[in-house]
Structures are given as structure tokens and as C-alpha cells.
Structure 1
């Protein structure tokens, strides 16, 4: 993926970015392609209508008991993730323990889905478009958009473009959840989800035509029975679907239903009133009394999509999609010119040490990434989850060639950022300055967008360099600031820049191992250019297990003080508080156990620039974002741009649900660690799954770069906890908003439109754009002059960026699911003369045949006529990557015991696949789910003729029921192959025997 930077103007100036693709035409094997479009300015800061978007919406609408998009999405992802962990048998802990241990990366990934979901109500390109919200009876168009989101999500996940997948998944879930709130599906008396929305093969309901009246007049806030009989539970006519019209576009025909509520101007047109179920407030939702039922169906639909996604891509990919229990990625950017032998050796040895340490843990080894570079070559990117494969890449690195001193370093860092998971730390080994300095803004934007740290290990004196990079070199004095861009990038991202030597590089590289261990948090991060005495402090709490300090630069004095006033001079003695190591350019300090809780102090006297970084082992961390109040079609908190009254939203992760804590405030810190502003926190009253979610109001944000530490007060003892976000945030007066995210089709050109706004005096801006696939036809730089908007003086240097995730999909994606039919049913169950036996007797008699064991997640699955419980247990085999990158799933046990016999099947041949399935008499109903490689699913319902017997129960020999099935998938070149998995919906205490094979 790629990124670009955009600028803005006093009044919105629509800009366009042209893209063309030359990937060839058609073919269902086209993978997802991601584009980050960054539009850069010469100046620099990093920076509804539906169920209510997020927790703040409930406050603004005075409906604190409403279910929001945020809650439904968070709970859905959490439940399916815990369910998947239980099925995969990776851990057998209680779910509360699992939830606390999912990690900061998981909640960051969930947050990306939630924000993408909520953004549909805030972005100008989507908030007023009825297709994105199932409004104005645009049901067919909305279903087509929904299926496009599904295709994008699936393609992205299969291509391991997880960030793009999360973005499109959030959009999909928003529209899907809106259907149940904005349509008459609940009023029709439906108690199960509408499968046809994402599965064309399932039965469909007709949509009311434009000239068909749908509503009656309603003159009160609460509208009851205002839908015409044919749209509720009519017995005379086929039921019709309708959705409410909103505002003035498109115009509402006479007699149609409105969305309703005080924010909908169409509610005054006939038929007056509305039908939305977005909230429990009659002020905003005329059908507020049906909100809970709509939310229940939206939740079930969300769970179904997430399970289908998991079953389509495989358990492992699904867990990686949400960064579940993933250790930090190990990312190396390696200069491979002739002078880098020692550096390559150091990186190789350090990687081997990290891999060996991870091999001794039960967790997944994580992601490994290597990007080599030299002049003029960059790459390729070596990305793997296989530690042995990564070591093979490292072993094959050779230090060869050379030439001029500058190298293509930033190009390599850009590649690494593109492929790295969010929250990664990237380690760059080089002894050369950047030859591609023009990429700095793009790389900086990528760093901030992904919240990645970049650390540079430079094996060269910052003011001198050998001419030529081979073994025979002569000394040449070069610019002392030629590494300034490296230092700037590490500073803004929260990383380090270490100037060391070849002889010390291996020992200095210990910081790689320190920072890539699991559950690392930051207690202190500060920089200083002062030659005077400095004092910094950090707090150790009971959740911290070990503490390591990294100091870069040259120190003349360094004294460490404990909370009980014990001191140790770190440059002259080993003492009772810490052990320390000194290398060229780096001091590494480790506090000795037992570590005293409380405030620690570090008093130093330095020569020149110095960076302080204190990290610790702890599961407790936090995530945050800034937002502004949005009172549009759906009130809530939207992402902020510019220095306006702002909310700081903070979520603490890793806390046990049983842990009682209270939170007070955060203090915004400057680049040197000085206090800039205190922000008092209040609970959001949200039952957010991520833990305690807190909100603080700020009249304005600081006008200088700052970072966000988290301070909380624990229990009545007043013990405090501090965590620091290391990336530096700088305000901006430039706002960039993407207006359209078009569908990308191979072989065609398209345009991405965006607005640039300037909230400061008139000035000239420079616009650049970039992408990671080379599709952009206009990259810039482009100059534009923007007028004044606001009397306040702006920053002398300012910039902003925006990142867009785009997906290239086939022009005619495969949307046809496999067909399925029951060929024959056999049974040897007792006859109806034994109906008088109790069902409990049946359960006791059949239970011994194979009830699942171990922890499992139970969930009520309502259907039109029954309330079943589904128990899901464990996955039998791991998914593998097949041709074209699609997952081929092996036999998997969803519930019960084998066998389910599957005949041999030859791919590419138009022949049926035969399946035989056997179950006990107590469970004569089952549902077989069949997927193809494109993610299309067919639900095959299996029912024995002895269903009535089961309803009353039988005793004695349980017997068996055999189903003979076949399904047929029309096959053409490039057609996705079927994948299947059974989901039994029988008696929960007596599951049938069920397995499925996917090698079809």
C-alpha cells in the first residue's frame, strides 16, 4: 500500500488525483491492491444516519441505553475472536482472562474497524448518500454496495492487506447494521437476519416500487402502526420491503415513509412521521420502541459476517486480521553496500536471538519483514510469518558494491512502512545519508498514520565519511546535518537515532530485542539539546515487571534516584539500583529487581543532543484519538483537524474486568518532557469492550508538538500509573478530506477527489501524492494559493496528509454460490410409538455419543420457528495458501464428532461433489455451509422426516439419520473452488457427527 499527502484552502477546493491501472483485464484471481494517497503541503501536523455512531451519540441524544454502531461492532469482533480462539484451542482460559490478554494491537485493529464504520456518518462522501445507509428505498443499490465491500474485505484479507481489509469491513458492517434500523424488516415480524443481503442465492423479498405508498400519517414523536398493512404482517399480499427517505435527496414521493426524527427534514412531508429505530429516543427515532430488536438483528448479522469471513480466509488469517496475541513485528531495513558487513552480521545475530526467544513461548512467532537497499536498488520486500524462512533471507544478505555515499534509504523505509502492521517498530541499519530526501513527507505521513516507530542505527560519525564505500577509502568531510532527516523522522515517530561504530553495532543492536518483546510499554520519552543539567522522571507501578532505559548521545554525568531517595551514579559505579552498559552512542540501563514502585528520577549533564527512553514489561497500555463534536445526520464524535475545541478519547487496555481503578487526568507533554496542558477525564459511560473509555475536553490543543501520557489513580491508596505515547503530535491549520473512494477496475482510469481547506491566513501550499503500486498518473508537486479563513495567525510551517485504502477488484466478481441439494435420506430411528418418552431421556441417551468438551462459546441463534443453541468447538486443520493466494481449508469440526464423508472431486471439472452425513436421531436437523474461494456461501439445510419424533424425544437405541448430499459448482478457468464447513443446529446437548473437507 502507499500513501500521499494533501493540502487545503480557505474555501473547499476540489482537487483530483488520477490513477490508471495496467494490470490486465478480468480474471477472478486479481488480488487486492492498496493505495495510500497522501497529499503533502509545504507547511506540517500529524494529526448520520444509522444506529448512533459511537458512545458520544448517546450523550447528545439523551439515549444512554441505545446500542451504537461502536458497541455492536466491538462486541461482535470480540465475541467471534474469543470464539475462534476457543475453536482453535490455542488457549483454554476463561473468556474474561482472554479479553484482558488480547493486547493493545487487537484493540487498535478493532478501533480501525469501528472508526471506519462511524466515518460513514461523518464523511461528506458517504453521510448523505442513501446507498450507504439503506435509505430512500435504494435497497438494490445498497445490496450491490454491500457485496462490493464484502469482495474488497475478502480480497484484502487474502492478500494480507489487513489494514485495507479492516477499513472495508467497517464500511460493510455500517451498511449492514443500518438495514435493520432503517427498513421495515423488524415490523414485518422477521426474527432472523436477511441472508439475501450478502448471499444472492438466498430467498429475496420484493422492494416497494416508487409509486407504491408505504406509510400512513403520524403526527407524534412516537409512530405506531404507521406502516401500511402490506409492509408489516399482511396475510393477503406478499410482503414488501421499504426503507425511510431522509432529508431532501432524493425527493420523497407522496405516501412514502420518512427516516424520521428531528434531524430529518422530510418528516414533514406526507406521509409524515418516520420509521427509523436508530435509538431509544423518540426525539430521534419514531420507532424507538423497536430499537432493541433491530439492534439484536444487527448484532446477529454482524456475527454472521465475521464468522463467514473467518471461515473464508481461515482461522489463522482471521486472528492476524485483528492482531490477536501477535508479538511485535520484527522489521529490518538493511543497507547492503560493501561497507555494511558488520551491520548485517549484527542484525543477523540479533534476529536469531529474538527468534530463539519466541520459540520458547506458546504465542505465534509474529511477522518478520526485511527490506534491503543500496544505490540504485531497493527491495524486494521479504515478508513472512515463518522464522526459519526469515533467517534464510538474512543469511542470504551480502555486503557488496557501493559508490557514492547517499543511498535510497527512505525508499526502503517507505516499503517497510507499507508492509508493516500498525504499531510496529522499524530498525534501519545504514552508514549513508538519504539520496531520496524528497520522500521525507510521504514517509513521515506513513509513520504517523500507522503509529510506527522508526529507529536508525548509524555506523558512521555524523560529521565525517570515507569517500567511496569499499575497503580502500579516503576521508572526506561531509555535511554535519546530512543525517538530519533520520533524526527528524525518529523524533516525530518516537524512535531513536543512534550514532555508533562497527565494533559496537552488535551490542547496540540489543535495543532491537528490548523493543520487540511482547507487552512493551513506554514510561518516558524525551529529547533535549541543552548542555545544562537536566532532570527527568518516570513512574513504576505494580503492573510493571521490568524496566530498561535507553539514552542516546554523550553524557558527562548521570545519577539515578529511586522513590526512597537511594541514588546511584551510573557512569562511575555498578550499584544497588541498576546495571548499566555503555557503548558508542548508547547507554543501556536495566533496573534491578525488586523494582521499587513510585517516582524515579534521572539527573543528567550531556554534551549536545540526547534522547531518553524508558520502556517496561506490562500488559496495561492505552490508545487514544482526538475528535470534535459532529451534529450532522447522526450526532457523535468525528476525527479532528485544526485547533478547535476538541475531545481527547482514551481507552485503557489490558486491565482485568475485575480490577477496580479510577482515572483522573492526562498531562500533555512537550518534546523535552515539560508539562504543557492538563486534561481532566470522565468516563464515557460506555460498555466498550476495550475496557475503560475516557473522554476529556480541551478548549484548544497546544500549538507546539506534544505527546500524550496516561495517568490513572488506582484504588483508595492513590497509587498512580503512567504510560506515554511516544509519537509527537503537532497541530495543523490544514484540513484534507477525501470526497470519493472509487471502485478500481483493472485496465481503467479513475479519479480520487478531495477537498483542501485552510483555517489560517492566505498562503501558498505544495501538493504531492504517492502510491505503493505505481498507478498514479499525477504525483506533483503542485502549487496552489489558498485564501484566508480565520483571523488568527497560522503556523510558519504546517502540513497535513490523508491516507486512502483502495482495492482493485475484478470487473465482474464471482457472486454465484455453489448449489446444493439433498439426494436421499435414510433413518433407523425408533417409530412414533415411543413419543411418550421425555426429551430429557433422549438427551441422556444420546449425550454419551460425543458431546464436545473444553470451553466453548454458546450463543442464542434465533430462527423464524426455533431458538437453537450453537456450540462451536475446535478447528482440526490449519488453512494453507492455495493458488492465487486463496485459502484452501482442510477438514474442520465445527460441532460434534465425525464422520462426514466427502467423495473425491477434481477441480476444474463440471461434476458434483458427493457428501454423506450421519447424525444421531436426537439431532435430525443440520445446516451444511459451503464456501467457494470467492467467499460465496450456500446454506444447505438437512432435515429428517422424523423431526416430530425428535421434538418429543425417544428413549432406547438412538439410531442414526443419514443424509446423502451433492453440490455443484459451475467451473470455468479461474473459477474459485468450493470450501465447506458444517454448522449443526440440532439439540445442543446431543450434537450430531459432523466434519467437512475443503480439498475440493
Structure 2
């Protein structure tokens, strides 16, 4: 067991029904070694920003091949503004970073907001391909309308981007796109009505063969949250019916406690074998066909298809980048610049200076995430290591000025919420817990 896993086990148990929304250490959860929704949004935008610079006059000042190498947002700006000091980079990038952080927050909140956390069309669940795709198309249309209207408040458009990206990213974890052997994104999502052939409601999609039940003991915190120990979950491979994957027929997962837009229950059918989401908290995983197909995390506790997590995350990042690139084409350079404050106004800079002076921190945006335009450069282990360092900084008071808070307590997230998407927010800033310092033979009382 590595140091990150030890830290996470000692802190809390976290259950999800989507790519983990964010590393929720400070309000009761943990992302483990999985790539989160907030990571995907950040990395996808870095790539799109690099293409923006290449397509404008800034790109003429830099060798285009340099953009293929990995860069953080700060490093991209240093490439196109070599005359800026570090303080200038920090000041002039603060508005853009605040906007991306806002989008990341809205992305994460889809798994926590009462109106969307159990809504199949917000997550491509329950074979809601038509509804989920329509949601993305509608949100995209509204973003374009707002971004091209100089009289519109752009905060609304930015929030809609976060809502949209969550649904888009979930397609790659909750459907069988990866299991079909696809190595490219589905370019039709959000752009066309037809995104592919969909399994009929009466068509069987999953089997129990290939799924192994696992039972494991609960930690003290897991007992408090689950109240049902030992834990039971599944490790599944090849449990999607072979004919679906060979014929390119789309299916997705059902899970417990979901409601449609009319607040009517959406249940896994009992008269035909449909796929479950699968996780330690998903009750639909136990009736036949057992198990599930989600790829949200790298552990079978939450994801029966955990072994395909990084493949799903890679395509979700590419799809995120494509969304930003297509948005750029549709609204033009000036509006794209204005939407993300790529070249901040004087008012933006004044507000940034005040925020920096007050030591205001971002929720999720971090200066360490990096990626390049080369398709093979996604270093997931580097991302995970950086997150561990940031979390250690938070937990052990290292006072890293660039570390995000990794909390949503300040925007009113219900600390007592208990659902399959977000898990229980058992530990928050008002709770004191005892955590063993890693690599040290002593304990420290800390607040998280």
C-alpha cells in the first residue's frame, strides 16, 4: 500500500457515481489515485489555451513545436510573454485562473447538487444517451449565446460550461465506449442529435459472468458511513455482452436512487439484463446481472471496470479540449479571450491584486497541473503525485501558498449529504481527527 493510499484510508471513505468530482479531503472524501473531473477540466483547458496562443499573434513569437511539450498555465504565459516577471505572471493570470476554478467548482457540483446528482441525463446513466446529449447541446447553445452578447454576465456562461463538461466527461466512464475498443472520442456528442446506435430498452446488455464478488472489512469511518459491513463490491471484466461491443451498440449503467426530470424513479429493469453502475454503495449491483461497468476510479470498491479508468480519463480530457476548441471557433478570438480573461482588463487586474493581497485561495485550480499538445504526453502519475503533495500541505500545515483548499464548505455544500455520488461529508472544517504523519512515528491533531 503506497503513501497516498495510507493517507486516504486514514482520513475517510469516499463513494462516487461519476469520475470523482474532486479530491474532497477537507470535507470528507478522497480521490485516491484516480483522475478527477476537476483534473480533466484543467488539463483540457491548458491544451485549448495552447492552441489559442498558436492561432493568434502570440504563437508567431514561439516555436510551435514547443507547445507539444508539457506546460502549466503559467509556463504557457511565460512562453508568449517572456518579458513578464513572475509577479506579473501571477497577477495577470489570476483572473483566468479564477474563471477556470469557477468552472471546476460547477463541474464538481453536478455530483452534489440535489437537482443533478441523481439525474441520469446529467451523467449518461440509465442509457439516457438522447437526454444527456440534448443536455450538452442545450447548454452549449446557451454558452454561445451568452458569450457572444456583450451585455451578458459571463459568469452564467462559465457556470454552464462546468455543468456541460461534467456530463460530457461521464460519457467515457459510464458507457461502453471504451469497452468497444474505441481510442478516439465521440465527436458527435453535443454537436449532432445522433451520437451512435443505442441499445433498445428491451435488449439485454450485461451478464454476470466475468464479475467476482469481493468482501472486505470496514474501517471505523467506513462503518460510520456505510452502516453495512463488511463491504461487498465487484471486480468485473468482459461482463458487457460481446455482441454489443462488436456491433458498436451503446449502453450505459443503471444505479440506485435515480430520478428523472419529473422526479420519477428510474429503476434498473428486472425483466431484461441491463448493466449496473456498480460500487460499494450501489444496490443495483447485487441482483443479476451482478457487478457493473463504471470506470470512475482505480479501485473496484467504487468501479467494477477500474482497470479501464485511465483509458476513460484520457478520452474525457480529449473531449474536454475539443469542447473548448469548438467553442473558440464558434465565438471567435475576441469573445473567447473575453470569456476566459486571457488578456485581462484593468478591472480584472485590480480585482486580482486585491485577491492576491488578501491571500485568497482557489478551490481546485493549482499551478502544478501540466500537459502538452502531444496526444501521448498525459502523465497521470505526475498529476497524482502533485495532488498528494498539495493535500499533505493542507493537512500538515506546510502553508504552500499555491495549494488549493479542496473544499466546498464556503459555498454551502451540505456537510451531512449522503448519496452515491458524493459520499458522506462526515469530516469537515469543524471536525477534529487524529491522523498519523506519514513516515513519522508520531501523531498530530489537526483540523481538516
What interval of TM-score do these two structures reach, taking the shorter chain for normalisation? Answer: 0.5 to 0.7
State the shift of 1:277 in Å. Answer: 0.4
Q: Unpaired runs of 5+ in structure 2?
A: 1-15, 79-88, 214-233, 259-265, 371-382, 403-408, 415-448
**Correspondence for 2:207:** 216
- For residues 251 and 178 of structure 1, the distance between their equivalents in structure 2, rounded to whole angstroms, comes to 19
Q: How does 1:854-893 map to 2 (within 5 A)?
A: none
Say if 2:236 and 2:292, in contact at 8 Å, map to a contact too.
Answer: yes
Distance 1:85 1:268, change over 3 A: same
**Given the two structures, how large is their TM-score scaled by the length of structure 2?**
0.64
Distance 1:712 1:63, change over 3 A: closer
Distance 1:260 1:99, change over 3 A: farther
- For residues 60 and 231 of structure 1, the distance between their equivalents in structure 2, rounded to whole angstroms, comes to 38
- For residues 205 and 133 of structure 1, the distance between their equivalents in structure 2, rounded to whole angstroms, comes to 17
**Correspondence for 1:241:** 250
Number of matched pairs = 326
Return the structure number with greater strand share: 1
Deviation digits for residues 611-665 of structure 1 (CA, Å, limit 9, x no counterpart): xxxxxxxxxx65245xxxxxxxxxxxxxxxxxxxxxxx7x676x999xxxxxxxx
**Correspondence for 2:290:** 272
State the shift of 1:116 in Å. Answer: 0.6
Give secondary structure in 1 for the equivalent of 2:159: helix
Q: Unpaired runs of 5+ in structure 1?
A: 1-47, 330-420, 426-517, 525-620, 626-648, 658-683, 699-709, 714-720, 723-729, 736-1000
Deviation digits for residues 287-306 of structure 1 (CA, Å, limit 9, x no counterpart): 01111111111111111111
**Correspondence for 1:623:** 361
- For residues 89 and 731 of structure 1, the distance between their equivalents in structure 2, rounded to whole angstroms, comes to 40
**Correspondence for 1:409:** none
State the shift of 1:77 in Å. Answer: 0.9
State the shift of 1:79 in Å. Answer: 1.7
- For residues 189 and 652 of structure 1, the distance between their equivalents in structure 2, rounded to whole angstroms, comes to 33
Say if 2:278 and 2:285, in contact at 8 Å, map to a contact too.
Answer: yes
Which of 95, 100, 103 is the aligned partner of 2:93? 103
Is the counterpart of residue 113 in structure 1 residue 103 in structure 2? yes
Say if 1:61 and 1:284, in contact at 8 Å, map to a contact too.
Answer: no
**Correspondence for 2:169:** 177
Distance 1:195 1:103, change over 3 A: same
Distance 1:692 1:262, change over 3 A: closer
**Correspondence for 2:182:** 190
- For residues 231 and 106 of structure 1, the distance between their equivalents in structure 2, rounded to whole angstroms, comes to 43
**Correspondence for 2:123:** 133
**Given the two structures, how large is their TM-score scaled by the length of structure 1?**
0.30
Is the counterpart of residue 307 in structure 1 residue 325 in structure 2? yes
- For residues 299 and 62 of structure 1, the distance between their equivalents in structure 2, rounded to whole angstroms, comes to 21
Return the structure number with greater helix share: 2
**Correspondence for 1:293:** 311
Q: CA RMSD in A?
A: 3.7
- For residues 167 and 134 of structure 2, the distance between their equivalents in structure 1, rounded to whole angstroms, comes to 11
Which of 269, 284, 290 is the aligned partner of 1:253? 269
Q: How does 1:817-856 map to 2 (within 5 A)?
A: none
* Structure of larger gyration radius: 1
Deviation digits for residues 195-214 of structure 1 (CA, Å, limit 9, x no counterpart): 2222227x642211221111
**Correspondence for 1:200:** 192
Distance 1:522 1:259, change over 3 A: closer
- For residues 183 and 103 of structure 2, the distance between their equivalents in structure 1, rounded to whole angstroms, comes to 27
Q: How does 1:668-747 map to 2 (within 5 A)?
A: 687=386, 696=394, 712=399
**Correspondence for 2:10:** none
Give secondary structure in 2 for the equivalent of 1:197: coil
Say if 1:81 and 1:319, in contact at 8 Å, map to a contact too.
Answer: no
Say if 1:215 and 1:228, in contact at 8 Å, map to a contact too.
Answer: yes
Say if 2:20 and 2:31, in contact at 8 Å, map to a contact too.
Answer: no
- For residues 124 and 57 of structure 1, the distance between their equivalents in structure 2, rounded to whole angstroms, comes to 21
State the shift of 1:229 in Å. Answer: 1.3
State the shift of 1:312 in Å. Answer: 0.5
State the shift of 1:178 in Å. Answer: 0.3
Deviation digits for residues 314-339 of structure 1 (CA, Å, limit 9, x no counterpart): 1221122111231431xxxxxxxxxx
